[in-house]
Structure 1
Amino acid sequence: MIFERAQGNANVATLIERKTRYTLLLRNNDRKSRPLMNKLINEMSPLPADARRSITFDRGFEFTSWRELHKGMGTKSWFCDPQAPWQKGSVENMNKRIRRYLPRDTALLALPSRYMKSICDRLNETPRKCLGYRTPAEAFRDELMKLERG
């Protein structure tokens, strides 16, 4: 997500687990790829390998170091076709929800990290009809427990 008042090229990367709709927001203080990939590796490495098998990106400059994910944690990377937002519909839908809390004119770098975490918590604690009125956090925990049991 791009912001009009962001100093430099600050943006927010939205990650969504497809099955449970669990969402993670990563603030990227510039559009350089390597820092974002390092954040992704740090956030996702503790998860079981089955929970981080692949990631689908759009064609943004911030994802040019995508090969680092495979080296860092064995995650495969895929890219949407250019001008094809429907190929990542859940991300587009979530970005629309996130804009309620982070409008385009937000001074992104002025926000404390705990505010970004509170947005994630709010999104992940909202019951969803598609999950049988469970929250994404509940559904994600259930899936992790299934993976651990084997």
Structure 2
Amino acid sequence: MGTRTWFCEAQSLWQKGAVENANKRLRRWLCRDTDTNKLSQEELRQPCAGLNATPRKCLGFRTPAEVFKANLLGRGYRKNKLPRQPLSHLG
């Protein structure tokens, strides 16, 4: 596939910033001591929806859901720059 991989060292939080940022965002909905095995599918969907609806600076202040949809429609984020103003989820 030609994909390059890199493995960070255990207990080296500074080597995996994206993972730590995602964990921090998840903790807005789920406490550290939450047993995710006991959560229903709907209880797991809520944090996912929240994460996908949060605008990100790295995406030009678009939400991951908007960028994903643009890629599905063939208007990829990297190929063509999306407008700076995020689309409203209210229609």
TM-score normalized by structure 1?
0.41
The secondary structure found in structure 1 opposite 2:65 is helix
Q: Percent identity?
A: 51
More strand by share: 1
Count of aligned pairs between the two proteins: 75
Residues 1:119 and 2:47 are matched in the alignment: yes
What is the alpha-carbon distance in structure 2 between the residues aligned to residue 78 and residue 129 of structure 1? 24
Q: Which has the larger radius of gyration?
A: 2
The secondary structure found in structure 2 opposite 1:79 is coil
What is the alpha-carbon distance in structure 1 between the residues aligned to residue 45 and residue 25 of structure 2? 15
| Structure 1 stretches of 4+ moved >3 Å | none
1:14-50 CA-to-partner distances (Å, cap 9, x unmatched) read: xxxxxxxxxxxxxxxxxxxxxxxxxxxxxxxxxxx8x
Matched with 2:62 is 134
Superposition deviation, residue 77 in structure 1: 5.3
Q: Residues 17-96 of structure 1: matches in 2 within 5 Å? A: 78-96=6-24
Residues 1:101 and 2:29 are matched in the alignment: yes
What is the alpha-carbon distance in structure 1 between the residues aligned to residue 23 and residue 45 of structure 2? 15
Cα-Cα RMSD: 2.7
TM-score normalized by structure 2?
0.63
What is the alpha-carbon distance in structure 2 between the residues aligned to residue 121 and residue 130 of structure 1? 19
Runs of 5+ in structure 2 lacking a partner? 77-91
Give the one of 101, 107, 110 matched to 2:38: 110
Structure with more relative contact order (C-alpha pairs < 8 Å, separation 6 or more): 1
The AA in structure 1 aligned to 2:46 is: S
More helix by share: 1
The AA in structure 1 aligned to 2:9 is: D
What is the alpha-carbon distance in structure 1 between the residues aligned to residue 24 and residue 5 of structure 2? 24
Runs of 5+ in structure 1 lacking a partner? 1-48, 55-75
